[in-house]
Amino acid sequence: MDIQIERLSKKYGAQRAVDDISFNVKAGEVLGFLGPNGAGKTTTMKIITTYLRPTAGDVKVGNYSVTENPEKIKKMIGYLPEQNALYEDMPVIDYLKFVAEMQTIIPGKIKDRIFEMVITCGLEGEKHKKIGELSKGYKQRVGLAQAMIHNPEVLILDEPTAGLDPNQIVEIRELIKKIGREKTVILSSHILAEVEATCGRIIIINKGKLVADGTPDELRKHAQGNEMLRVSIEDGDKNEIIQAIQNIETIELVDWSSIKADTIDVQSKTEMSSRRAIFQLCKEKGWVLTEMTPVETKLEDIFHELTMN
């Protein structure tokens, strides 16, 4: 089930929470939604789930529009909200039964689905407890279970791993990846490593505007531009080495590394690689090349660069 977001805007009073955003998500894609607090992630997700109405623009899930056929969309969507508010005085199993009935699952299959969700989300030991008595991590699991109980085509998860311990985070990530092979998943997160680990595609928004869209690799390449190498050479005069490297014509900038002693940061000219030239140089001069590492721009840097202006 594809999702199309078309020139979507949402205003709260005079403030533009979402400002003319467009993108598509295809079935079988896990889309990571990144952005600082208040960037408009949650608002966009709430519009996709039909909870909020857009000020302008439209969202289409499958062939249905959120403004014209919200009822149809609600059936296809599983939603885990950011606050994950649940009825605290209900036992887990009763709550899942309530949600299953609301999602019009055939009465004969309700028991099987609840059982499956209890196993998938690891709620076996807690299923008869009241939701209010559960820890935050278990509440989050109940939230995930209720979102997936009707086997929806589209999953919208607003910070799905918030409050989980590291083991649970790994489990939930695996689960999301598994679901993402067939379904459409949109998830938001502050944790960049998480988005990198689970999402095939990343969208970064800032102040309601879309600032980046691509696979993690594409984003890195885009932000990096020039090749960066960390080089360490032994058996030679330090100044001579620096001088010789500087004379290689594909190289733009050479400097002592600020991070590691006796290593050199080498930046190549745009779209050029200097790795072979450096190796040849060492061979000619009889120096020993002990390290040559490509320095990758981390997703954190991209995020920082795109959202801090």
Residues that bind another protein (CB under 8 A): 46, 49-53, 71, 74-75, 77, 79, 81, 83, 85-90, 94, 98-99, 101-104, 146
Closer CB to another protein, 141 or 201, in the complex: 141
Q: Which residue has the tokens 């076996």?
A: 124
Q: Which residues pair with 268 in a beta bridge?
A: 251
Q: Both tokens of residue 55?
A: 């000020």
Shortest CB 61 distance to another protein, Å: 12
Note the residue count of the chain: 309
Q: Give the residue with the Cβ less far from another protein, 86 or 148.
A: 86
Cβ contact 148:76 at 8 Å: no
Helix (H), strand (E) at residue 13: none
List the alpha helices (DSSP H) in the chain: 41-48, 70-76, 92-102, 107-120, 136-148, 166-180, 192-198, 216-224, 238-246, 275-285, 299-307
Nearest CB to another protein, comparing residues 129 and 298: 129
- Report the nearest approach of another protein to the CB of residue 220 (Å): 35
Q: Shortest approach of another protein to residue 132 CB, angstroms?
A: 10
Q: How near is the Cβ of 89 to another protein at its closest, in Å? A: 5
Query: CB 96 → another protein: shortest distance, Å?
Result: 12
CB 79 to another protein: min, Å: 5
Nearest CA to 133 out of 167, 87, 164 is that of 87
Q: In what order do the strands lie in the sheet with 228-234?
A: 251-256, 264-268, 228-234, 288-294
Q: How far is the CB of 128 from another protein (least distance, A)?
A: 14
Residue 131 vs 192, nearer CB to another protein: 131
Residue closer to another protein, measured from CB, 32 or 143: 143
Coil, strand, or helix at residue 125? Answer: helix
Q: Decide whether 46 or 173 has the Cβ nearer to another protein.
A: 46
CA angle 63, 64, 65 (to 5 degrees): 125
Rounded Cα distance between 9 and 235, Å, is 62
Q: Report CA 282 to chain centroid distance, whole Å.
A: 42
201 forms beta bridges with 31
Nearer Cβ to another protein (103/257): 103
